Amino acid sequence: MFGNSREVASSQRQAHPRLVEIVGRHLREPFRKPISDASRAAFDALAARVEDASRPLVLDAGCGTGASTLALARRHREAFVVGVDKSRARLEVGQRALACADDVANALLLRCDLVDLWLLAARAGMRFERQYLLYPNPWPKPEYVMRRWPGHPVLPAILACGGALELRTNWDVYALEWAEALRVAGREACVELLIPDGLTPFEAKYAASGHRLWRVESP
C-alpha cells in the first residue's frame, strides 16, 4: 500500500568505519572490470545520440520508471537528459510515458548497467553537466558497503564524468557516506534535509510514509 514503506533497517548507525580507507584505495587503484557487450552497445547508442544533440548532458542514474528523467528534461530545457536503469520492466513504463510527453524532446531512457556506463563514459571523455543519483538501492548491511555508490570501486569514474552531483536518499547513513566519500575525493558536499518535491516515485512513497529525506549536493 502507498504510504507504508518501511524505513531502512541497518545495524549501521553512522558512516562505515572502513569507508575512508576503501575510498582512498579506489581513488589510487584503477577499477578493472569486464564490460558486457550489451553495455557497449547501449553506450554506443548513447554516444551517437549525444553527438547529434550537442547540448549539455544531464544523467539520471538509476532512473527507475523514468518519471524523474521527464521532470528533469522539463527542468533543464537547455540540456539533454539521459535516464539510465538496468530494469527492463521499469524502463518500459518510462518509454510509454516518454512517447506520450509531446513537450519533451530532450530526453532518452537507456537500459544499461550503470557501473559499465560510468566506466565507458569516463574512458570516452563524456562529461555531464549534472548527475542525479536519486534514491539508490541502500544495501543496508555493513558488509555491503562496497555495493553502495560511496564505497563502490566505480566512484572515481563517476567523478571523472564531471558535473555537479545531487544524491537523494531516505537513509541518513547513505547521505553521510556519500558526503564523506566526496570529501575524501577532494569535493565539497553539503548534506541537508530535503523538502520533498515528488521528483521520483520512490521519493513520493517515502514522503507519504513519513520518512525523513536527505539531499547531498556537490557543486
Ligand X SMILES: C[S@@+](CC[C@H](N)C(=O)[O-])C[C@H]1O[C@@H](n2cnc3c(N)ncnc32)[C@H](O)[C@@H]1O
Q: List residues binding ligand X (CB under 6 A).
A: 62-64, 68, 85-87, 90, 113-115, 134-137, 200-203
Cα–Cα distance for residue pair 183/190, rounded to 1 Å: 10
Question: Least distance from C-beta 129 to ligand X, angstroms?
Answer: 19
Q: Which is nearer to ligand X, 85 or 180 (CB)?
A: 85
Q: Which is nearer to ligand X, 20 or 101 (CB)?
A: 101
Question: Least distance from C-beta 142 to ligand X, angstroms?
Answer: 19
Cα–Cα distance for residue pair 44/39, rounded to 1 Å: 8
Q: Which is nearer to ligand X, 135 or 214 (CB)?
A: 135
Question: Least distance from C-beta 85 to ligand X, angstroms?
Answer: 4
Going through the chain in order, the beta strands assigned E by DSSP cover 57-61, 80-85, 107-111, 130-134, 164-169, 190-193, 214-218
Question: Least distance from C-beta 147 to ligand X, angstroms?
Answer: 9
Residue 73: φ, ψ to 5°: -65, -35
Q: Which is nearer to ligand X, 102 or 143 (CB)?
A: 143
The DSSP-derived string for 12-27 is: --SS-TTHHHHHHHHH
Pairing mode of beta strands 164-169, 214-218: antiparallel
